[in-house]
Amino acid sequence: MKFRLAQNTKLEILKYILSMLMVMFIGTCIILSQGNSPTEAFSALITGSVGSVSAIGTTIRWATPSIITGIAAVIAFKSGIWNVGIEGQMYFGAFLAAIIGASVAVPKIIHIPLCLAAAGIGGMLFAFIPAILKLTLNVNELICTLMLNYAASLFTEYLTFKYMGFDASELADAIATPDMLPTARLGTIIPKTSASTAIFIALGIAILVYLLYKYTVKGYELKMVGENLRFSKYGGINYKRTFILIFLLSGFIAGVCGGTEMTGSFGKFRPAFATNLGWDGVMIASIAKNNPIAVIFISIFWGMLKSGSFHMERVTNTNRLVISVLQAVFVLLVAVDYEALYKWLCEKRQIRMLRSQKGEV
């Protein structure tokens, strides 16, 4: 059994390596087709991610929300629930955190946890909508959470507009909540960078979720609901209550991500502040095979790519969207079941051999 586990691990590592090599090859072809130098582009990518203290700080900054949204996705996906509304839940969390951070004057030791708790509750309440719709009206949670992302983005923009008292459309670019008080802001871990202490919150969440699934009865119940719904029902697990709990927990963590973005990097809520952060979490969870610890390492790599892509666009003629395309391609390549593909090819080969032998006879 131990050998089998080790063998499976080696195969998974080999799959990641081959996928990475294929992505680099595809990226080279895309960059060459644009008339640019792949060597310069990849060199700038590395320099922009780990080439200086400032670059490392930017990598940490982007890895932080990736970890938290990745864990929010893991909780849902590990239990067989398609919560792709993480970005919308993050918006509501961020909005509430920004309001609490700007309007409530309390000591820092209370203010930051208060902002993050409000953010988590905001994300949790918004996640309750698709959960209750699924249980009462059997509304598909994938479609529901997907569409609610747009509702969250537009509704929080409307709330911000009204909160600030704007009444003219030409002020749309200025829509933002007031600056959060200094007591609501997280500290930086690398001076003159956007890397904040939110990274420790992200790591703490990932470790707690790992321990939840590995060592607790509740974690076992959450996992069983996803792996075998019929077995979980016969095993005495309250499916409806557990289903809602999964959605609320996933939404809470997504909301906390919005809170860390406000208390850390932004300091105020602006509409459309999250540039696909929710989708990053979904992709990272898929690559990590819903493993919370793997999410940490993949998120760091994700942060390196995002940090490096901005630098690459500044110093070369390669558009940073090329990296976004390669990230999506990497997800697709990792998702392929190469073992099943290999077996299918072997079967096809055997069939051809048998047919050729019959033809010879």
The residue among 67 and 316 whose pLDDT is bigger is 67
pLDDT exceeds cutoff 50 at 315 = yes
Residue 107 near residue 184 (C-beta atoms within 8 A): no
pLDDT band at 209 (very low <50, low <70, confident <90, very high): very high
Q: Tell me how far apart the alpha carbons of residues 254 and 114 are, in angstroms, rounded to a whole number.
A: 16
The answer to whether residue 99 is domain-embedded is yes
The answer to whether residue 189 is domain-embedded is yes
Q: How confident is the model over 44-56, as a mean pLDDT?
A: 92
Q: Tell me how far apart the alpha carbons of residues 118 and 322 are, in angstroms, rounded to a whole number.
A: 37
Q: What are the pLDDT digits (tens) for 262-309? A: 999 899 998 888 878 999 999 999 899 899 999 999 999 999 999 999
The answer to whether residue 360 is domain-embedded is no
pLDDT exceeds cutoff 70 at 115 = yes
Mean of the per-residue pLDDT values of the chain: 87
Q: What is the pLDDT of residue 167?
A: 52
Q: 239-260 vs 198-215: helix axis angle to the nearest 10?
A: 160
- Three-class DSSP labels, 216-243: CHHHHHHHHHHHCHHHHHHCCCCHHHHH
DSSP element (H, E) containing 313: helix 292-315
Claim: this prediction has a pTM higher than 0.75? yes
Q: What are the pLDDT digits (tens) for 143-193? A: 999 999 999 999 998 888 887 766 545 455 578 888 999 999 999 999 888
The answer to whether residue 355 is domain-embedded is no
Q: Residue count of the chain, please give it.
A: 361
Radius of gyration for the chain, computed over Cα atoms and rounded to the nearest angstrom:
23
In percent, the amount of the chain with pLDDT more than 90 equals 53
Q: What is the pLDDT of residue 168?
A: 46
Nearest to 67 by CA among 213, 284, 330, 226: 284
Q: Each residue of 303-312: b (16+ CB within 10 Å) or e?
A: bbbbbbbbbb
The answer to whether residue 172 is domain-embedded is yes
DSSP state of 76: H
The answer to whether residue 356 is domain-embedded is no
Q: What is the pLDDT of residue 165?
A: 65
pLDDT exceeds cutoff 60 at 360 = no
CATH code of 313's domain: 1.10.3470
DSSP element (H, E) containing 246: helix 239-260
Write down the residue that tokens 């960059």 correspond to.
Answer: 31
The residue among 297 and 7 whose pLDDT is bigger is 297
Q: What is the pLDDT of residue 211?
A: 94
Q: What is the pLDDT of residue 2?
A: 46
The answer to whether residue 198 is domain-embedded is yes
Q: Tell me how far apart the alpha carbons of residues 27 and 222 are, in angstroms, rounded to a whole number.
A: 39
The boundaries of the domain holding residue 168 are 38-317
In this structure, the number of other CB atoms found within 10 A of the CB of residue 337 comes to: 10
Q: Report the number of distinct structural domains present in the chain.
A: 1
pLDDT exceeds cutoff 90 at 218 = no
Q: What is the pLDDT of residue 198?
A: 95
Beta bridge partners of 65: none
Q: Tell me how far apart the alpha carbons of residues 87 and 73 are, in angstroms, rounded to a whole number.
A: 10
SS3 content of the chain, % helix, strand, coil (to 5): 80, 0, 20
Nearest to 271 by CA among 143, 25, 87, 127: 87
